[in-house]
Chain A
C-alpha cells in the first residue's frame, strides 16, 4: 500500500484521467448535491410547517412522510426510483434527476424533523403574545417565530447538508456518473486503488469539511445569548 502510494507511473495514469473522469464526476456530485439540497429544503419546510399546524390531515401526512423515508435505507429508495420511475414518466430517467429525487426526498424528511423541533423550541407564549398584538399567522411566523427558529436549526441544517453530499455517492450503485462511480470504475478497472480512491476521498473532503466546520461554528453561535443592538438615541 505504501509502495503503491509513491508509484509515479500510477499517478501519471491518474492525472491522465483526471480531466476526463474525475472533474466531470466531481461537478456531477456538486450539481446533484446542490439541487438535492434545494429540493430537500423545499420539502422540509413544507412538511415541517405541516407537522406544527393544527390541521390533523396535514400533521398525519407529514408524520407518514417523515417516518417512512427516515426508516427505510436510501439505497432501497434509489433502486426503487431506478426501477419504477421509467414506467411513470415513460422513458429513461437521467441520472441527475434520479440523484436529486433520491437524496432530496430522503433528506427532506430529516430537514422536516429539524424544522419541526426548531419551531417547537420556540415557546408557545411567543405565538400568543404575537396574536394578542394583532399579528396574523404569516406575520407571526415571519417576524417572531422564524427568526428564532432559524438560529436553532442552522447547525442541524449544515449537518444535513454534509450528510446529503456524502449520500449522493449512492448514485454510484446505479452507475450515476458521479465522482464515486468514476473513481470506482477506474480503480477496479486498472487496480490502482490508492490512486483511484485517495483523490476521490480528498474531493469529498473538500466539500464536506467546510460544512462540518460551519456546523460547529453555528452551534457555538447558537449557544450565545443575543446582545441587543445599540439603538440611536432619538433626540
Chain B
C-alpha cells in the first residue's frame, strides 16, 4: 500500500496539486463576482427596460439564450484562440461569459419575487430609481437568491475543470500532469479517488450550506 501511494503523494506533487487548487478557487471566485455584477446589470435590463428601450431587453434576452444553449467548452476554446492576453485572464473571461447568462436568470427570478409595493413605497418616500434599487430592492433580491447563487458557485467550481483543455494550471490539469508520471493502474485509480474527493469535499460542504439556507428560508 505504502509502496503504491508514496510515489504519488510526494511533497512536490502535493504542493503542485495544491497550487492548482488555489488557481481553481481564484478563477471560481473571480468568475462568480464578475458574473454577479454583469448578471445583475443584465437582469435589470431584462426586468426594467420596457417600451422604447425594449430593444435592450431583447438583446439581453438573446445573450442569455445564446449562452444557455451552447456548451461551455466551446467558448473556452474559442476565446483561447481569438483573444490576446494572459491565459488566466482569458479563462476567467470565458467562464464569466456563460456564468453571467445563468446568474442573470437567477437575479431576474429574485427581482420578480420583490412585491410591487416595495417600489411604490420607495417612490412615495421620494427615492430615485437608483436609490430604490441600491437601498431597497437589490438587498432583498440578493438575500432571496443566496441558495441559488451558492448552487451556481458549485457549478462554477466544477466547470473550472473544463479549463484543463486550454492548459490553465488549475487543479484538474495539475493533477493530470502528476498522473502522467504514474504507471501502475492502482496508482492512477488512487489519484482519481483523491481528485474526486478534493472536489467532493469543497462542493459537498457548499451544498450543505445551500440546504441550511433553504431550510432557514422556509421556516
The finding on whether chains A and B are genuine partners in a shared complex, rather than unrelated, reads yes
Name A's B-contacting residues (CB within 8 A): 1, 67-68, 70-77, 79-80, 83-84, 87, 162, 166-170, 172-173, 180, 183-184, 187-188, 191, 193-194, 197, 200-201, 204-205, 208-209, 211-212
In chain B, positions 6-51 with a C-beta closer than 8 Å to chain A are none
Which residues of A have CB within 8 Å of B204? 67, 71
Complexed CA–CA distance, A172 and B166 (Å) = 12
Q: Which of B51-90 contact A (CB under 8 A)?
A: 65-66, 68-74, 77-78, 81-82
Binding-face segment, B111-119, B120-128, B157-165:
B157-165
Pick from B65, B72, B185, B207: contact of A209, CB under 8 Å: B65
User: How long is the Cα–Cα vector from A72 to B77 in the complex, in angstroms?
Assistant: 22
Residues of A within 8 A of B154 (CB): 71
Determine whether the beta carbon of B72 is less than 8 Å from that of A166: yes
Which listed residue, A1, A72, A87, A211, touches B158 by the CB 8 Å rule?
A72
Q: How far is the CA of A87 from the CA of B188 in the complex (A)?
A: 12
Q: Collect the chain A residues with CB atoms within 8 Å of residue B78's CB.
A: 193, 197
> Is B68's CB under 8 angstroms from A212's CB?
yes
B176 within 8 A of A: yes
Q: Find out whether the CB atom of A188 lies under 8 angstroms from the CB atom of B81.
A: yes
Partner of A73 from B65, B68, B161, B207 at Cβ < 8 Å? B161
Q: Are A173 and B73 in contact (CB under 8 A)?
A: yes
Residue of B nearest to A198 (CB): B78
Q: Taking the complex as formed, is B199 at the interface, i.e. its CB lies under 8 A from any CB of chain A? A: yes
- Asked whether, in the complex, the Cβ of A72 is within 8 Å of the Cβ of B70, the reply is no
Q: A72-B200, A209-B69 are in contact. Are A204 and B189 (CB under 8 A)?
A: no
Note all chain B residues with C-beta closer than 8 A to A68.
Answer: 196, 200
A205 touches B66 (CB 8 A): yes
A71 CA to B74 CA in the complex, in Å?
23
Bound CA span A212–B66, Å? 11
In this assembly, does B195 line the interface, its C-beta being within 8 Å of a C-beta of chain A? yes
Main secondary structure, interface of B, reads helix
A87 to B192, CA, bound (A): 15
Q: How far is the CA of A200 from the CA of B165 in the complex (A)?
A: 17
Query: Are B70 and A187 in contact, CB atoms less than 8 angstroms apart?
Result: no
Least CB distance, A169 to chain B, in whole angstroms:
4
Q: Majority SS of interface residues in chain A?
A: helix
Q: How many B residues, CB 8 Å from partner?
A: 34
Enumerate chain B interface residues (CB-CB to A < 8 A): 65-66, 68-74, 77-78, 81-82, 154, 157-159, 161-162, 164-165, 172, 176, 185, 188-189, 192, 195-196, 199-200, 203-204, 207
Q: A71-B199, A71-B204, A72-B203 known; A79 and B176 CB under 8 Å?
A: yes
Ranked nearest first, the 5 interchain pairs of A and B with the lowest CB-CB distance are A208-B69, A169-B71, A71-B203, A73-B158, A75-B161
Distance of A77 Cα from B158 Cα, bound (Å):
11
13 A–B contacts, CB within 8 A, in A order: A72-B158, A72-B196, A73-B159, A73-B199, A166-B72, A169-B73, A172-B73, A173-B162, A173-B165, A180-B74, A184-B77, A208-B68, A209-B69
How far is B73's CA from A200's CA once the two chains are assembled, in angstroms?
11
- Complex Cα–Cα for A83 and B190 (A): 12
Q: How far is the CA of A72 from the CA of B207 in the complex (A)?
A: 12
A170's nearest neighbour on chain B, judged by CB, is: B73
Q: Are A193 and B82 also in contact (CB < 8 A) when A71-B200, A84-B188 are?
A: yes
Picked from B69, B159, B189, the residue with its CB within 8 Å of the CB of A84 is B189
Task: Give Cα distance in the complex from A173 to B163, angstroms.
Answer: 10
Is B72's CB under 8 angstroms from A87's CB?
no
Compute how far the CA of A77 lies from the CA of B193 in the bound complex, rounded to whole angstroms: 10
Residues of chain B within 8 A (CB-CB) of A67 are: 200, 204, 207
Asked if A74 contacts B66 (CB within 8 A), the reply is no
Flag if A76 contacts B70 (CB, 8 Å).
no
In the docked arrangement, what's the CA distance between A68 and B157, Å?
Answer: 15
Known contacts A71-B203, A72-B203, A173-B165, A180 near B73 by CB under 8 Å: yes
